[in-house]
Amino acid sequence: MVDQSSLVGSTQYAPAASIPLIKSPSLYLPKPIELPPDIHPLPEDIQAYFVYPFTLESHILAHGPAHRQQLQARQNAHVAYLFQREEDKKARKRAEMNRVAPGWSPGGSALVPDRPKSKLQNSQDEAKLTATTMITKEAEGGIGQSLSEDLASLNFGG
């Protein structure tokens, strides 16, 4: 049990003084630590414990710059590899989007479908071309002359 005599003098805890306090059986004080017999305290001067092998210093420092260059080369190769992977991902995505939606561009512009020209458009283009050539031939020397040249260029008899 806990000593409750200290609670009696306090007016704030006076009602709690009559309640008995019981220690839980699950709580216990740990056993005191027993030190091994061969342990000894550190001496006043601990400089003897700090031993630095200066013989290794030149060996380690000699490999430093070459190792740093090798690490830099590896890092550059990794950065280039990651950049190439990102570019490949973007190219695959663009190719997939163009496969699904022909004419798609990542800029967000309107989709323009790639359609082959119809026969009507082809015949209209040919008519425009013939009219243009007729006008140029007329300007050069007349339609009659160009027609006679066209007939002469045709070889009927062989």
Instruction: Render pLDDT for 97-130 as a digit per residue (tens, 0 to 9).
Output: 888 887 777 777 776 666 666 666 666 677 776 7
Kind and range of the H or E element at 146? helix 143-153
> Considering the domain boundaries, does residue 95 fall inside one?
yes
* Banded model confidence at residue 76, pLDDT cuts 50, 70, 90: very high
> Considering the domain boundaries, does residue 149 fall inside one?
no
Does residue 106 contact residue 94 with C-beta atoms inside 8 Å? yes
> Considering the domain boundaries, does residue 74 fall inside one?
yes
Instruction: Render pLDDT for 21-69 as a digit per residue (tens, 0 to 9).
Output: 788 888 888 899 998 888 878 778 888 788 887 887 887 788 878 888 9
> Considering the domain boundaries, does residue 84 fall inside one?
yes
> Considering the domain boundaries, does residue 148 fall inside one?
no
- What is the C-alpha separation between 79 and 81, in angstroms, rounded? 5
User: For the chain, what is the domain count?
Assistant: 1
> Considering the domain boundaries, does residue 10 fall inside one?
no
From residue 52, alpha-carbon distances to 41, 49, 64, 75, 121 in Å are: 22, 10, 19, 33, 90
> Considering the domain boundaries, does residue 88 fall inside one?
yes
pTM over 0.75: no
Residue 73 one-letter amino acid = A
> Considering the domain boundaries, does residue 116 fall inside one?
no
Measured CA angle at 95 (ends 80, 109), to 5 deg: 105
| Residue 93, domain extent | 51-100
DSSP readout, 109-131? PPP----PPPHHHHHHHHHHHHH
